[in-house]
């Protein structure tokens, strides 16, 4: 795991955009894995800025979202399909027909999840998966106790996650759906490269567990320790509980040019 502790959340987002820009230049038909939530918004803004500067084009790219609420119509402002359009895809030149998400309105949930897995495979797999992290250590919506081998499926959200996300529903906990469709941890681990971004002290414990804790379904993001190409980009507050922060800073500062994101 590469752990980068930036001076600020904005710097972390800019470093993440560097990594994605490099991947897009190497493969214009890159397949991106998109996360919702507030954490990746800085990355999306930075990519949009670079696009308008001519530094990047996503015209040949495609994308797969991590997860979706069950029961919200796709045009609901908090449906992840709408959120990703608002925060990212409408600002860049990616073809909207090439942006995919799990179907949270499907009658046959199992078939919808199997179809989603098949669509990812048919696209050749995800090249760069962007991740945030929940305060309880979830990635996508893989809540604690999720199988580390799980595939796309329906999950029940924890009360903590619904409380955390109620800020997007005017603070109304009852308005936050109780279920979601989410890529599984096994699905996420098949991405070729994974980029997790976190900021703020509320994420510090989840980050400590993710980077330094034992691999355990109690903290689902710890499964990322099993992946060979993970970059974790943090602001100082999110990194504040790491025992080995000085070591990570030293490693990052001394990376040879070819190893830099
Ligand atoms: N399903 C999403 C996750 O993909 C996201 O990483 C996480 C953190 O959200 P935020 O970045 O807003 O803190 O919560 C949501 O519930």
- Give the domain CATH number at 73: 3.40.50.1360
Residue 108 Cα to ligand 1 middle (Å): 26
Identify the active-site residue in 46, 138, 164, 235. 138
Give me the pLDDT at residue 203, please: 98
Identify the active-site residue in 68, 143, 164, 235. 143
Give me the pLDDT at residue 256, please: 84
Return per-residue pLDDT of the chain as tens, 261 residues: 999 999 999 999 999 999 999 999 999 999 999 999 999 999 999 999 999 888 899 999 999 999 999 999 888 999 999 999 999 999 999 999 999 999 999 999 999 999 999 999 999 999 999 999 999 999 999 999 999 999 999 999 999 999 989 999 999 999 999 999 999 999 999 999 999 999 999 999 999 999 999 999 999 999 999 999 999 999 999 999 999 999 999 999 998 887 776
Q: What is the ipTM of this complex?
A: 0.94
Determine contact, residues 69/180, Cβ cutoff 8 Å.
yes
Residue 247 Cα to ligand 1 middle (Å): 28
Residue 144 and residue 146: Cα distance in Å, rounded? 5
Give me the pLDDT at residue 172, please: 96
Give me the pLDDT at residue 126, please: 98
Identify the active-site residue in 117, 127, 136, 235. 136
User: Is the beta carbon of 134 within 6 A of some atom in ligand 1?
Assistant: yes
Residue 113 Cα to ligand 1 middle (Å): 20
Residue 57 Cα to ligand 1 middle (Å): 26
Give the chain's domain count: 1
Residue ranges making up the domain that contains 244: 2-259
Give me the pLDDT at residue 79, please: 96
User: Is the beta carbon of 141 within 6 A of some atom in ligand 1?
Assistant: yes
Residue 186 and residue 134: Cα distance in Å, rounded? 18
Does residue 138 carry a catalytic annotation? Answer: yes
**Tokens matching residue 133:** 């992290």
Residue 40 and residue 35: Cα distance in Å, rounded? 7
Q: What is the pLDDT of residues 244-261, one digit of tens each?
A: 999 999 999 998 887 776
Ligand 1 closest atom vs CA 66 = 4
């Amino acid at each position: 795991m590469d752990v980068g502790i930036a001076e600020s959340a904005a710097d972390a987002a800019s470093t993440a955009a560097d990594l994605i820009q490099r991947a897009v230049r190497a493969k214009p038909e890159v397949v991106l894995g998109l996360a919702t939530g507030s954490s990746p918004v800085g990355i999306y803004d930075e990519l949009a800025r670079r696009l308008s500067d001519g530094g990047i084009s996503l015209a040949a790219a495609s994308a797969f979202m991590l997860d979706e609420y069950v029961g919200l119509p796709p045009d609901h402002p908090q449906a992840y399909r709408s959120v990703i359009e608002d925060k990212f895809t409408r600002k860049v030149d990616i073809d909207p027909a090439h942006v995919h998400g799990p179907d949270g309105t499907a009658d046959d949930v199992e078939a919808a999840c199997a179809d989603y897995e098949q669509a990812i495979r048919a696209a050749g797999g995800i090249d760069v998966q962007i991740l945030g992290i929940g305060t309880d250590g979830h990635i996508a919506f893989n809540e604690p106790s999720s199988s580390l081998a799980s595939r796309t499926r329906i999950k029940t959200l924890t009360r903590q996650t619904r409380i955390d996300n109620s800020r997007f529903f005017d603070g109304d906990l009852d308005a936050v759906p109780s279920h979601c469709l989410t890529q599984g941890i096994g699905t996420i681990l098949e991405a070729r490269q994974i980029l997790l971004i976190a900021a703020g002290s509320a994420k510090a414990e989840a980050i400590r567990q993710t980077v330094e804790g034992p691999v355990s379904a109690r903290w689902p993001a710890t499964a990322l320790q099993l992946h060979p190409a993970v970059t974790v980009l943090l602001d100082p507050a999110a990194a504040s509980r790491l025992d080995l922060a000085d070591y990570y800073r030293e490693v990052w500062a001394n990376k040879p040019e070819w190893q830099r994101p």
